[in-house]
Amino acid sequence: MKQVPFKFGEVVTGEHFTNREDEINKLRSNFISLQNTIIISPRRYGKSSLVKEAAERFVQKEKGYFFCFFDLMYIYSEEEFYNQFATKILKATSNKVEEFLQLAKNVLKGTRVTINTGTGEPALELGVNYIKDNIDTILNLPQIIAGKKKKKVIICIDEFQNISRFKQHEKLQGRLRSIWQHHKNVGYLLYGSKQTMMIEIFHKTNGPFYKFGETIYLNRIHKDRLREYVQQAFHSTGKEISGEICNRIIDTIENHPYYLQQFARNTWLISEEKVTEADFIEAKRSLISENLNFYNELLDNLTNYQVNFLRALLNKEEQLYSSEVIYSYKLGSSANIRRMYIAFVNKGIIIKEGGKIIFADPVFKLIAEQRFLPQ
Ligand SMILES: Nc1ncnc2c1ncn2[C@@H]1O[C@H](COP(=O)(O)OP(=O)(O)OP(=O)(O)O)[C@@H](O)[C@H]1O
Ligand SMILES: [Mg+2]
């Protein structure tokens, strides 16, 4: 049996990656000019994939750059942050373990390096006191190494908003900014999914990271490109799908990249050589049931007001605060609507895009429709 030509839930590059030409070009020119960049989007729009793809294409053409990828997803303290930051940079800029050890000896004098017995991978072990005495050196590592090796370094930090969960994170942010802004041979690319937190870090006028770099807001992917992608993937595995069914798949998940891959995968698995209407319906059903568990608890705990609020959104009411809508959907008061709006935004259920409130997750919308709108 042929391998499924769709992938979701992990970073995708190469054949599983489509579109984003404009963003890739922009990143390319920012890498060259070492322009700091921030990428913001709701969850699963493809930030991590975009950065990986852009970096992969870049290093194929340009020599003289080191890329360092650092994910703050599982970093919970400042101490871990410094340890991982330094380790990742040394790894990204050295080829072999010996080189890592040599570099550690030269640039971080008196540090301990441990070698993982399973993987053979080296890691720095910087204690609290060592960090305290060497904070500036650690944060300057990319620039120090760039200078030593006569290369440029691009530091890519994913889930950057997690920095806000460290104690005294504002002080750390101020320190990062004040040191990083002097790096002549280093570019920083910071991205993350908690949109409100990212905006808080980068757009608060009195915050340390205000105007740190250029911000790219990532959108969903254009319909034509998604359709080409799906049709090509079916075709290359000996199957056929009509443009019309493709369009309906894309419309159902409202051009969301992650769900496009999941829905297309389901359709591919169910179908024979040619995708039928029945396949589409069955694939949609499994898309919903695969995602239901994730939302069950949230849906069960909604208040009546919240259900009414969702109904108004599902019915595409635009004047949510008008007395007519408040009255007919029993929404209480405009203050109540505001509260519910903020709560749903913080939960990542709704977002404002192009001045409109939309559902961040199109599959949540399908589930809510089934549950709260008369069929
Ligand atoms: N350019 C793309 N072409 C095709 N599919 C894509 C693309 N970008 C993202 N996807 C799909 O979306 C999924 C999520 O992508 P990715 O993990 O890069 O998003 P993210 O914004 O970093 O997500 P998170 O918010 O969870 O960190 C991928 O696994 C893939 O299925
Ligand atoms: Mg990501």
Cα–Cα dist 36/181, whole Å: 9
State the pLDDT at residue 163.
Answer: 94
Regarding pTM above 0.85, the answer is yes
State the pLDDT at residue 252.
Answer: 98
State the pLDDT at residue 374.
Answer: 83
Cβ(65)–Cβ(151) below 8 Å:
yes
Could you tell me which residues are beta bridge partners of residue 67?
154
- Which residue in 55, 48, 364 sits closest to 193, CA to CA? 48
Cα–Cα dist 253/290, whole Å: 14
Q: How far is the CA of 57 from the centre of ligand 2 (A)?
A: 19
- Which residue in 89, 173, 171 sits closest to 126, CA to CA? 89
State the pLDDT at residue 195.
Answer: 81
Cα–Cα dist 75/340, whole Å: 31
| Angle at alpha carbon of residue 297, lines to 292 and 300, rounded to 5° | 100
First-to-final CA distance of the chain: 39
Q: How far is the CA of 192 from the centre of ligand 2 (A)?
A: 7
Cβ(273)–Cβ(240) below 8 Å:
yes
Domain layout of the chain by residue ranges = 20-217, 222-292, 302-375
What CATH code would you report for 302-375? 1.10.10.10
What CATH code would you report for 222-292? 1.10.8.60
- What one-letter code names the amino acid at 225? R
- Which residue in 192, 190, 173 sits closest to 35, CA to CA? 190
State the pLDDT at residue 355.
Answer: 84
What is the best residue among 7, 48, 258 to mutate for testing ligand 1's pocket, by most ligand atoms within 8 Å of CB? 258
Who's near 267: CB < 8 A, 6+ residues apart? 241, 245, 249, 275, 279, 280, 283
State the pLDDT at residue 269.
Answer: 98
Token readout for 94 is: 């050295």
Cβ(215)–Cβ(40) below 8 Å:
yes
Please report which ligand is nearest the Cα atom of 222.
1
**In this structure, CATH architecture of domain 20-217:** 3-Layer(aba) Sandwich (3.40)
| Closest approach atom of ligand 1 to CA 193 | 25
State the pLDDT at residue 352.
Answer: 87
Residue 261, helix vs strand vs coil: helix
Instruction: Say if ligand 1 is within 6 A of residue 195 CB.
Output: no
Q: How far is the CA of 44 from the centre of ligand 1 (A)?
A: 5
In the chain, which stretches have pLDDT less than 70? none
Instruction: Say if ligand 1 is within 6 A of residue 43 CB.
Output: yes
- Which residue in 119, 142, 229, 253 sits closest to 188, CA to CA? 142
Please report which ligand is nearest the Cα atom of 228.
1
- Which residue in 266, 66, 273, 265 sits closest to 151, CA to CA? 66
